[in-house]
Structure formats: C-alpha cells, structure tokens
Amino acid sequence: MPNELRRIERALLSVSDKTGLIEFARALSRMGIALVSTGGTAKAIAEAGLAVTDVSDLTGFPEMMDGRVKTLHPKVHGGLLAIRSHPEHQASMLGHGIKPIDLLVVNLYPFEATVAAGKPYDDCIENIDIGGPAMIRAAAKNHHDVAVVVEPADYAAVLADLEAHKGATTLSLRRKLAQKAYSRTAAYDAAISNWFAGELGDTSPAFRALGGSLAETMRYGENPHQWAAFYRTPEQRPGVATARQVQGKQLSYNNINDTDAAFECVAEFDPARTAACVIVKHANPCGVAEGSSLLEAYERALACDPVSAFGGIVALNRKLDAQAAKKIVEIFTEVIIAPDADEEAIALVAAKKNLRLLLTGGLPDVRAAGLALRTVAGGFLAQARDNAVVDDMELKVVTRRQPSEAELADLRFAFRVAKHVKSNAIVYAKNLATVGVGAGQMSRVDSSRIAAWKAGEAAKAAGVPESLAKGSVVASDAFFPFADGLLAAAEAGATAVIQPGGSMRDDEVIKAADEAGLAMVFTGHRHFRH
C-alpha cells in the first residue's frame, strides 16, 4: 500500500566492514540521499569524492573518549526513533533541531573475530560495540519509518527496493531488515556474554544466550516433513561448520550431524603418530582403524562393517591422497572430510559429482574446552564437551593377569573409539582396528552380543574362518553393572577389557574376569554419549 512506503532522504552509515561501502554510498548519493557518517567510514566516503556530513557536525559534539562516545546523542537517536506521523514527536524534532534519519547502515565492531584471534582481554573489551547496537535497536524498533541494514549482503536488496519505488522502501523489506537487526544484536550479545562467562570460569551463568549466523537453509531436517537450517557459532573449531566444500551436492541435516561425529572421532588420532580413518553411519562409528597410510587405515576400517559403510561418512586425519581417494570412491559414500587433499585426489573424487568433499584445514583439539547443548521441552541442557582423552588417564589393572603391550595398545584404541559410540557402547578391537561395534542398546550385554555378532559377520565378508573377535580386546563406555556383558565378550573370544569401573559389583565382575583368564583395566572415566 502507498502509505507503507517511506522515502529515504538521509542515511547514517557507520561500518567496521567496508565491503561494498563505496558502491552503496555512491548509489545512495545518486538518488539524492544525504549521507551522514562517523570516523573511518566518513573518511572513506569523502576520499571517494562523495559529499558526507560527519556525525560530530550533526550532534555538535566531537567524537570523544577514543571514539567510545560519538553517536549516543538525541540528534542521532531522536532522528531514528521519532514516529513521523506523531504530532508530538514532530514538534520535539522541530524544537530541538533534530533531522530524521531514514536509513541506518551499521555493522558492529568485530568482537567475535577479535576473540577468535586470541587477542588479549583488553583488546576484546575495546571491540565491544556500544553505539552500534543502540542505533540498530532504535532503528529496528521504529521500522515503520526507518530501514536498518546490518550486513553488506543486504545492500543490493535495499537499492533494488529504492529503485523500484522511486527512492522509497517498502514496509515488508523494513520488517525483514528489522528482524535481522535484532537477531544480529542478540547473537552479538550472546558472544560477549559467553566470552565473559568463560573468562570468569562461570559454567552456570544466570542467563545463557545462544547465537549463530545462518550458513544455509536446508531442504528438510531429519525427515522430509521437518524444516531445518544450519547455523554457525563464533567458535572457530575445525570441522563441518568451518570446512570448505570442494565439491558435491548440498549437505543434508543428517550429513552434517554424521560428518561432525566422524571428524570429532578421527581427531582422537594424532596424525603425527599414525594415519587413521573413521567411517560413520547414523552418527555411530561402524569402522575405525589406524594404518601406515590412509589407504591401509581405510581398508581396515571398512573391513569391520562393509555393509554399514555403504552410504556412510569417511573421516581422515591426514591429507587425502590419490591412493586412498581411489579406493574410497569404489563404494557409495556420502561425504569425505579431511584436513586437506592433493590435486590428484580431488580429481578422483570429482568423478563422483554427488560425493561431498570437505576440507577443514586442520583437526579439532580433542582436549579443548567447549560447550555441548541439547534441547528438551521448555529448555535446553548445557554441559562441558567431553574432552577426556584416554592417553591422559591413569589405567589401573584390576585382574591377576596383566595385559600385554599389544593388548594395552588395543585397549587404548578401543576406549578412544568407545567415547564416540552411542551408549550403551561396546567396541571390539584388534591390531588397532575395530572388529565389532555395539551401539545404542538399552542393555550393555545386548551391545556386547551385537558387537560380537558384527565381528562374526565381518569375518564372513572377509572370508576368514573364525570371528574377528577372537583375540580381540573390548572397551565399554561405562562400567559393567553385572558380569554378563563381560562374559559375553569372553565367549566371543576377547582377551582383555577396558572399562571405567565404579560399579557396586566391581568385585563380582573382576572375579568373573579372573575366572575367564581376562586382563582388565579401569580408567576411572566414563564416556556416556546419549
């Protein structure tokens, strides 16, 4: 409707990100829109040969206190907040010499980038924007009269609206821009409050704010009837959110969830020590192995469960090379994620046009602190990321038989993997490769039996006469509440067990292990993953 159109006569521009600024300002100027600006933004506009009024000339006050105070003034906020159709507001503007500001263009001090760069505390504080959020919120509140832009990506939409309506904006665009404006300030404040909580060591602040920026809108969620979108947080942790997608179709909701699970698991394996491969299906590792090369690691991981690996996610801890790439593309794979890839490997993967290849530039630090979130009805749970690493644990042998060095290496390997398997989790491993994985069962003994069955199926697929569980070790993510789960592992042919311990029946379980001739170690750390 015509009364929803608002002509732009004056624009205030104050930006830290000057991408596209001059082109946008020049377009506004051509339309006869007066430009007001601050500091470095005003300087850039003036150097481009455009007429611009410094905000200090508008307010009658110079910028002061190292630029902390420049836009916090009635002539700025009055120009943004005044309701144009309100007689008293109009009278106040006339009485105090306040001119309307019809378009506000502000992007905030780069606080998130400053924190991500590891800058000192005082630098982070100085990059907390005050005037910017205040102006953004004022303009967004008064969106019936004022348009507000918080990122360069919206310059084109504003110019298109102005051109289509002879220098005016539509209410529908102003509403969209206002919604984005409040989302931006909310995410900005969330980043600041969470950083403060971290600096104070406050794990349970009175208010926990969450914020993220839209990475992409997805075709659907876990199921086709669910909408979904992917958001990035300020955390710069190498992984699916920060990766460069070299090729392949759009990642699905389930792809992202599974790829994150795979890459977090493979990060447990130090690339300086060994090559490693993790194959994930439905957020659970179905095959994990170390090897002298990525090719060997992949082939050994695939042998654990070649059926489940079909349509899975492959995560690697080293630069993808041609040998590994050639083998991986032999079966249907949804995603390959690695720190990097050589040109020959990229070319081989390119032959599978739908296969997504993600390169992260590095591995996440498994020991780094972080926040893990889960929604529940009416709220969400927040906890520390599980950053416990088996290499840092003091393993306690509780049985008469000591594990051999080979068994001890396999025990550490298996417990490393169990951390990333849904509870109840049981992992059989031999020679630094999984041979059977039991995940997500209501009973630990069922997980143990399923893992043993998987080991038998893997042996059949490989043409081996006896189960791969023979001579293996077993990891449990939590204690055995009864001896039955442990005995199921012994029956399958396992020779050693690693578990957290801590059950009321530990003595009973230890006795059963001794009677079965098993070696068993306690870690003192549980790895529930629900």
Q: Which residue has the tokens 């955390």?
A: 235
8 A C-beta contact, residue 433 and residue 300: yes
Annotation says 141 is catalytic: yes
In the set 282, 319, 327, 352, the catalytic residue is: 282
Annotation says 225 is catalytic: no
Measured CA to CA, the distance from residue 218 to residue 227 in angstroms comes to 7
8 A C-beta contact, residue 449 and residue 473: no
Q: Which residue has the tokens 């591995």?
A: 363
| Largest distance between two CA atoms of the chain | 95
Range 242-245, long-range pairs (CB < 8 A, 24+ positions): 242/360, 242/361, 243/337, 243/358, 243/359, 243/360, 243/361, 244/358, 244/359, 244/360, 244/361, 245/356, 245/357, 245/358
Q: Is 270 helix (H, G, I), strand (E, B) or coil?
A: coil
Which pair of structure tokens corresponds to residue 14? 């104050």
Which pair of structure tokens corresponds to residue 153? 């990506």
* Helix (H) / strand (E) containing 229: strand 229-232
Measured CA to CA, the distance from residue 153 to residue 159 in angstroms comes to 11
- Residue 22's φ and ψ, nearest 5 degrees, are -65, -40
Residue 375 pairs in a beta bridge with 380
Which residues, 6+ apart, have CB-to-CB distance to 18 below 8 Å?
Answer: 40, 41, 44
In the set 18, 99, 141, 319, the catalytic residue is: 141
Angle among Cα 474, 367, 313 to the nearest 5 degrees reads 60
Residue type, position 528, single letter? F
Pairing mode of beta strands 6-7, 168-169: antiparallel
Whether omega for the bond prior to residue 107 falls within 30 degrees of 0, making it cis, is: no
Q: What are the catalytic residues? A: 141, 282
